Structure 1
Amino acid sequence: MYRIGELAQRHGVNNDTLRFYEKHGLLQPSARQENGYRAYSDADDRRLAFILRAKSVGFSLSEIAELLSIEVDKANRVCSDVKELVDDKLVKVSQKIIELERFRQSLQILSDGCCGGPHSAEHCTILQALESFEENDPR
Structure 2
Amino acid sequence: MTPSQVALVQASFAKVAPIADAAASLFYGRLFEIAPDVRPMFKSDISEQGRKLMATLAVVVNGLAKPESILPAAQALARRHTAYGVTADHYAPVGAALIWTLEEGLGPDFTPDVKAAWVAAYTLLSGVMIDAAAEAPASA
TM-score tier, shorter chain, comes to: under 0.3
Which protein has the bigger strand share?
A: 1
The two structures have a TM-score, normalised by structure 2, of: 0.25
Which protein has the bigger helix share?
A: 2
Q: Relative contact order (alpha carbons < 8 A, sep ≥ 6): 1 or 2 greater?
A: 2
The two structures have a TM-score, normalised by structure 1, of: 0.25
